Structure 1
Amino acid sequence: MTSFPCAATTNVPIIRQYIQNYTAHTNQLLYNGKVFVSTFAGQDCTFGTSSVNQGWTNTVKNGLNTYFVPSFFVDPATFKNYSVLDGAFGWNSGWPMGDYNITFDQDQSYISNLGNRSYMAAASPWFFTHYGPNTYNKNFIYRGDDWLLAQRWEELVTNRSVVNFVEVNTWNDYGESHYVGPIEGVQPMSQAWVNGFEHTGWLDLIAYYITAFKTGSYPPITRDRTFLWARLFPAAANATNDAVGKPRTGSGCTQDYLWAVVQLTAPANVTLACGPSTVVASVSAGTTKLKLPLVTNCTVSSAIVRGTNITAFVPPGMNFKTTPVTYNFNAFVAASP
C-alpha cells in the first residue's frame, strides 16, 4: 500500500477488482473458504471515509468474502480499534531490529493484542539495501548473523501453537536482498548488489522447516546436504569506488562468518574451510549449525567425511575478498546438490 492510492473513495474499486481478479485462481490462498488478503502497510488508508477501519471495511469486506490479515505498522495495542482485521501480519518480526539475535518478543506482543484473531509471523533470511539520496535513499542492513533463517524457523516451530500463518519475506524483493526466488525480470536498480548473488539455495532448507511448522515434527533427513551463506566482503572494509557509501546503520552489527547448516543421514566429520581458516566438526545425524571465520582472500569449501568416503562441495563463485570495489552486504548462498 505504499504504491496503491487509498485516500479517496475512487480508489476503492481498484483494490476490490484486484482481489476479484484472483478469487478463483488456483494459486489463491483460501482460509475457511475465504480469500486471504494481506498488505504491506495501509495503516493510513481511509479511502475517503472518516476512519481507517471504515475505509478498509468498505474496500475489502462489504460484498467480498475475504480473510483480512494486513501488515499495519501501528502499535499492537491499537488492534482493538480495527474491527476489519481478521488478523495481523508482523512484517518486521522476521529480522532483529538491532545488534542482537532474533527473539519472539514482537510476535508475542502481536499475539497478546489480537485476542482470538489470527497472527501471521514473518520468516526472512536477510536484509540489505543500498540506495543513494538520488534514488530511494535507503542504505542499511539488518543483522542476519547466527543463521538467522534457521534460527527464526526453529523459533516458529517451537511456538507453532500460537502462530497461525508464516509468510516468507520475500520471493522477489531484490532491492532489500531478502528474495528467495530466482533473479528474474526487471530489478529496482539493485543490480549492483543482486547480480551474481542467487538465493535459491535457501529454498530446500525453508521447505524442511515448513514441514516441521505444519506437522510439528521435523522430517527425516534422506540425503546429506550442506547449505552455506556469507557476505563476500569484510564488514569493516572500505570500498574503493562507491558513491553511495557504507551502510548508514547495521554494518557494525554483522560478523565476518560463513554460516552453514548441515543435514546428515548418519554421523560424519564435516569440514569447512576458506584459506587458512578451517573448522572440523564431528556431527551427528540430523540438522546441525556450524560457522567459520572469514579473515582473508579465500575460496569457500566444505566436505562430509565418513571413513574413506569424502563428499566435497566447493560452490562456484563463493570467494571472500578483503578489498571491495563497492559496498555489498548481500548474502552469497549455496546449497549442495
Structure 2
Amino acid sequence: MGIVSNRQNASDYDDDMKRAKAAGIDAFALNIGTDAYTDTQLAYAYQSAADNDMKVFISFDFNWWSASQGSEVGAKVAKYANLPAQLMVDGKVFVSSFTGDGVDISAIRSAAGCNVFFAPNFHPGQGDFGDVEAALNWVAWSNDGNNKAPTLAKQLSVSSGDNTYKAALDGKPYIAPVSPWFSTHFGSEVSYSKNWVFPSDLLWYNRWREILQESPRFVEIITWNDYGESHYVGPLSSPHTDDGASKWVMDMPHNGWLDMAKPFIAAYKAGSKFPIEFLDEEKLVYWYRPTPKDVDCDATDTTMQGNPNNSSGNFFRGRPDGADTMADEVFLVTMLKEPATVEVQSGDISVTLEASPGVWSHSVPMGVGAQSFKVTRGGKTVDSLSGTSLRDITDTCPCGIYNFNAYVGTLPAEAAIDQLQPDGLTMLSQGLQVACPTNTLGASSASAT
C-alpha cells in the first residue's frame, strides 16, 4: 500500500477492482508496511472490493515488519478478518507475506483469534514450512540464486524454483508466481539505489504456458502496480505517488499484458491447457524496449551521478546489471480465431509471419524507427488488427537514462492513452541531466520538465 497513500476514498480503488475482476483475477494481495496511513488505505481497499464483488487479503511486508512482531501481525489480521471482502480459503482467513522467515506463527494465530490460512513467502531452508497452509514463491524470473540476473556460471529457471518450493511444501498448496518483466533503475537521487534487469523478453507468455501445464492450486501475478520494478500490469493512471520510477515508467503502458493473460487465466481456472478455448476477441499484443541495449547513456544517466547507497549490493552504475540477457527484439503475441498473415515493420526491418489460430508468441529483430503491424486474411487487411505503435524505438537515451522497461501496445488499440497522473510524476526531474517532456504518447507537443 506504500505508493497509494494519496487515495482519498474507497472509489479510488474501484477501477483497479473492476479491471482485475474483468480479467478473471479473484483477489488482490494488499502489501503493507507499518506506515501511519496503512489502516486508512486498507479500509478503502476492503470497502471497494466489497462494492465490486472482489476479494482482498493482507500481505505483510517484512522489509518493514519484524519477525518478532507475530502478535502485532495477528492483531492486524483480526482487525480485517470479518469484513465482507476478506478472502477466505478452506473456511479460513487468507494471510500472506513478503519474506518473513522466522516469524512466530503461533503468536500470529493466537492474536488473530480466528482460523488463519497462512500462506507466506517463506524461503525453503529458512522458514518453517511445517506450520503453514501454503507458501508463495516470489521469484518469478530466471536468476543466479542471489537476487541477480543469471550468469553463464549460475542459471536458475523459474520452474526450478517451483520444484524447490513444492519439495519444501511436501504436498501442501503452492502459490506459483507469474510476472511479465523486472527492471529497475534507481540512482543516488533516492536512498534505495538499485539498478538491474532480469531476463524478461517472452517471460510473460512462456510462464503462462508453464502455469497451464503445472496447474498449481494458486497463481499470484507479480505485480499489479509495482512501477519501480517495471512488472506492473495495471494502468499508469491508477492513483499512486511517485517513488522515482516515473523516469522509466512514463509513456510505458503495460495494459496489453493483462489483455494477453485473460484467456490463460480463464483456461487455468477451468483446468484447460488451451487458451484458444477462452479467446473472446482477436488481438495483437506487442512489446519492446525503447532503445537497443548498446545505446550509450553514460554521459547523462542518473546512476552515473553522485554516491548511491549500495548497502544491498544491488546497485550498478550505468547499464543495468543483466542487460546482456535481454534480446534486441520486438515481441508479439497473436490472439487469433483464424489463421492470418502478420507483417511487422520495425524501423527498416520487415518480417512476415504466418500466425496460426490460438495464442502464440513471435519475435522479430528490433529496428530503430516506427513500429507497425499489418494483419491480412485472404489478401485483405484486417483493419482492427493493423496499425502503428505510439512509441518509436530510438537510438538516443529517453530522458537521458538507460531504460530497460517495456512499452506494451495492443491492436485494436486502447480507446484512451494511459498516462501517469500528476502525483505519479512528482519525482520525474529529480536526478535527470536533461529536460524530459511529459506524457508525450499521441501528443503533438509536450511540456518540458
Superposition TM-score tier, normalisation by shorter sequence = 0.7 to 0.9
Structure 1 counterpart of 2:159 = 104
Secondary structure, counterpart of 1:112 in structure 2: helix
Return the alpha-carbon distance in structure 2 between the equivalents of residues 4 and 249 of structure 1: 26
The offset of 1:235, in angstroms, is 1.0
Instruction: Verify the 8 A CA contact 1:236 1:251 in the aligned structure 2.
Output: no
Which deviates more, 27-36 or 104-113?
27-36
Q: Which amino acid aligns with 2:71?
A: V
Q: Which of 317, 323, 330 lines up with 1:258 in the alignment?
A: 330
Q: Indicate whether 1:36 and 2:83 are aligned.
A: no
Q: Indicate whether 1:56 and 2:105 are aligned.
A: yes
Query: How has the CA–CA distance of structure 1 residues 214 and 127 changed in structure 2, closer, same or farther, with 3 Å as cutoff?
Result: same
Structure 2 counterpart of 1:153 = 208
Cα RMSD (Å):
2.1
Structure 1 counterpart of 2:427 = none
Q: Indicate whether 1:319 and 2:372 are aligned.
A: no
Query: How has the CA–CA distance of structure 1 residues 60 and 176 changed in structure 2, closer, same or farther, with 3 Å as cutoff?
Result: farther
The offset of 1:326, in angstroms, is 1.1
Instruction: Verify the 8 A CA contact 1:102 1:148 in the aligned structure 2.
Output: no
Q: Indicate whether 1:89 and 2:136 are aligned.
A: yes
Query: How has the CA–CA distance of structure 1 residues 135 and 78 changed in structure 2, closer, same or farther, with 3 Å as cutoff?
Result: closer
Query: How has the CA–CA distance of structure 1 residues 8 and 287 changed in structure 2, closer, same or farther, with 3 Å as cutoff?
Result: closer
Q: Which amino acid aligns with 1:320?
A: I
Deviations 1:281-307 (A, max 9, x none): 1222112211111132x1111121012
Structure 2 counterpart of 1:49 = none
Q: Indicate whether 1:23 and 2:77 are aligned.
A: no
Q: Indicate whether 1:328 and 2:328 are aligned.
A: no
Q: Which amino acid aligns with 2:138?
A: W
Return the alpha-carbon distance in structure 2 between the equivalents of residues 102 and 273 of structure 1: 32
Secondary structure, counterpart of 1:38 in structure 2: strand
TM-score by length of 2: 0.67
Structure 1 counterpart of 2:421 = none
Query: How has the CA–CA distance of structure 1 residues 307 and 35 changed in structure 2, closer, same or farther, with 3 Å as cutoff?
Result: same
* Runs of 4+ that moved beyond 6 A: none
Q: Which amino acid aligns with 1:57?
A: S
Q: How many residues align?
A: 318
Q: Which runs of 5+ in 1 are unaligned?
A: 44-51
Please give the residue correspondences for 1:97-176 in structure 2 after superposition, counting only pairs within 5 Å. 97=143, 98=150, 102-133=157-188, 134-145=190-201, 147-160=202-215, 163-176=216-229
TM-score by length of 1: 0.87
Q: Which of 292, 308, 311 lines up with 1:234 in the alignment?
A: 292
Query: How has the CA–CA distance of structure 1 residues 220 and 213 changed in structure 2, closer, same or farther, with 3 Å as cutoff?
Result: closer
Q: Percent identity?
A: 30
Instruction: Verify the 8 A CA contact 2:253 2:407 in the aligned structure 1.
Output: yes
Query: How has the CA–CA distance of structure 1 residues 19 and 258 changed in structure 2, closer, same or farther, with 3 Å as cutoff?
Result: same
Deviations 1:183-228 (A, max 9, x none): 2310211110111111111112112111121212223434321000
Which deviates more, 190-199 or 276-285?
276-285
